[in-house]
């Protein structure tokens, strides 16, 4: 199928993606729209206007989610939900999350123009703080509407000491009214998300889009190691309790653990490290770092986690430091609904587009939704698999094909509720 024979309006979609990329723009192609920031608010206001243009009613809930709704013939029926996020990493790209929100708006805009009234209501959501980089815990809005926030989440602080509760207030939300914004489980019929792949698989298969089979489960830990500070010039090597040395050994060990089976999709990463007092001539006393471990096979991930915890214990002993491990996130792999994947298979072949099936390593808002309803995801090829980087790139042709498949899938799910 060529872009010229699409039902959706790819030009309009392209323009909105390009316009949104101007908000929080960094450099030529990057964006920085941290959750609940001024830039995020400006983006929400803009996208809200597009939702209204597309024929939806739209509002921002107290979790900071932007929600648009197209009424169905049966307004009381559980909704078909579509969405993603428009917040970004501090040094992020233009497509991560945004194509899922703007693609879903394009789907609705097309339906309304074609005077199609869905049988069940359809809602499009730009979920608040999917990325999790500001308060070190993601999927805030999507877990929020499902009543899945954990104790203490509102007290989490960003690097400037601002709590999430304060950030919500500054955003115009009322943290005391969160409970009013929770969806009863039976209110969501199914969930669809369009997203860039953020990996190199589709490109290697020469396919513009792919059908996601499931999301692998992330485990997030924060490890803190405590040694003893001393003068870098005077404390002899055997007498040191160097917390950074211990951390370095753990980081190298995590890499060994995650790569021990070259055929497996397991990945392990330390992406953030803080050193105290962080001075050239002081032996590091305290180091905190994050661990991100993912796998589609939960048994294997559990086994690797055990190996890592043992390694931390051994290395701490060897380096004379103490340690603590905090678990920030622990999710199992979640598989997409077979009936939705079936619709996507049929529709992509009707479009004459090759859409191979693949797992998602990164997690998405769909992960939170997977616990309450059937869900399906469409991936769009991205150049060299690059994401969370201003160099992130997908062609508008590929994004349009993904949006067309989203349109066709949404049409079938909203006309034939099960």
Helices (H), 54-187: 98-113, 140-145, 164-171
Applying the rule CB under 5 A, the residues between 176 and 195 that interact with Zn ion are: none
How large is the greatest C-alpha to C-alpha distance in the chain, in angstroms?
Answer: 79
CA–CA–CA angle 132, 216, 379 (5° rounding) = 80
Least distance CB 128 / Zn ion (angstroms)? 13
What are the start-end ranges of the H helices in 9-138?
A: 10-20, 38-53, 98-113
Chain residues 96-115 in contact with Zn ion, contact rule CB under 5 A? 96-97
Is 218 a binding residue for Zn ion by CB under 5 A? The answer is no
Pick between residue 289 and residue 363 the one whose CB is nearest to Zn ion.
Answer: 363
For Zn ion, the closer CB: 80 or 196: 196
Q: Which is nearer to Zn ion, 331 or 414 (CB)?
A: 331
In angstroms, what is the minimal distance from the CB of 286 to Zn ion?
32
Q: Which is nearer to Zn ion, 133 or 293 (CB)?
A: 133
Binding mask 78-97 for Zn ion (x = CB under 5 A): ------------------xx
Q: Give the E-state strand segments of 142-276 in sequence order.
A: 188-196, 209-215, 217-226, 267-269, 273-276
CB of 387 to Zn ion, least distance (A): 8
Residue 215 or residue 341: which is nearer to Zn ion going by CB? 215
Q: Which of 51, 93, 77, 35 is nearest to 388 (CA)?
A: 93
Q: Specify the residue, 135 or 323, whose C-beta has the smaller distance to Zn ion.
A: 135
Region of residue 98 (left: phi > 0; alpha: psi -120 to 50; beta: else)? alpha
Element (H, E) at 154: none
Minimum gap (Å) between residue 194 Cβ and Zn ion = 11
Minimum distance from CB of 105 to Zn ion (Å)? 16
Number of residues that bind Zn ion (CB under 5 A): 2
d(CA 217, CA 53) in angstroms, rounded, equals 37
Residue of this chain nearest to Zn ion (CB atom): 97
**Helices (H), strands (E): how many in the chain?**
11, 16
* Shortest reach from residue 394's CB to Zn ion, in Å: 12
Interface with Zn ion (CB under 5 A):
96-97
């Amino acid at each position: 199928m060529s872009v010229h024979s699409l039902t959706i309006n790819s030009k309009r979609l392209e323009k909105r993606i390009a316009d949104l990329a101007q908000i929080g723009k960094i450099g030529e192609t990057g964006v920085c729209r941290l959750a609940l920031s001024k830039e995020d608010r400006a983006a929400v206001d803009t996208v809200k206007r597009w939702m209204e243009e597309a024929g939806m009613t739209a509002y921002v809930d107290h979790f900071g989610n932007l929600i648009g709704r197209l009424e169905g013939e049966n307004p009381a029926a559980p909704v078909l939900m579509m969405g993603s996020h428009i917040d970004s990493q501090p040094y992020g790209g233009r497509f991560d999350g945004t194509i899922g929100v703007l693609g879903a708006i394009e789907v609705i805009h097309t339906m309304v123009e074609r005077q199609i009234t869905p049988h069940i209501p359809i809602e499009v959501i730009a979920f608040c703080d999917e990325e999790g980089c500001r308060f070190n815990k993601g999927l805030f809005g999507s877990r929020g509407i499902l009543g899945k926030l954990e104790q203490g989440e509102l007290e989490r602080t960003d690097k400037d000491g601002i709590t999430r509760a304060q950030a919500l207030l500054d955003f115009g939300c009322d943290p005391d009214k969160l409970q009013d914004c929770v969806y009863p489980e039976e209110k969501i019929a199914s969930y669809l998300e369009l997203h860039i792949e953020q990996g190199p698989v589709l490109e290697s298969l020469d396919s513009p889009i792919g059908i996601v089979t499931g999301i692998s489960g992330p485990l997030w830990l924060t490890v803190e190691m405590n040694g003893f500070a001393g003068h870098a010039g005077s404390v002899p090597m055997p007498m040191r309790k160097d917390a950074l040395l211990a951390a370095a050994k753990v980081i190298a060990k995590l890499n060994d653990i995650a790569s021990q089976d070259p055929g497996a999709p397991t990945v392990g990463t330390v992406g953030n490290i803080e050193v105290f007092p962080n001075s050239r001539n002081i032996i590091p006393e305290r180091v905190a770092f994050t661990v991100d471990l993912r796998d589609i096979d939960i048994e294997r991930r559990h086994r690797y986690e055990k190996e890592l915890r043992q390694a931390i214990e051994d290395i701490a002993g060897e380096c004379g430091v103490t340690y603590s491990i905090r678990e920030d996130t622990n999710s199992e792999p979640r598989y997409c609904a077979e009936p939705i994947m079936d619709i996507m298979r049929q529709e992509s072949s009707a479009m004459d587009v090759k859409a191979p099936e693949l797992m998602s390593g990164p997690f998405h808002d769909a992960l939170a939704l997977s616990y309450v309803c059937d869900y399906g995801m469409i991936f769009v090829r991205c150049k060299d698999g690059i994401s969370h980087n201003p160099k992130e790139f997908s062609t508008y042709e590929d994004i349009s094909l993904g949006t067309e498949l989203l349109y066709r899938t949404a049409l079938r799910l909203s006309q034939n509720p099960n």
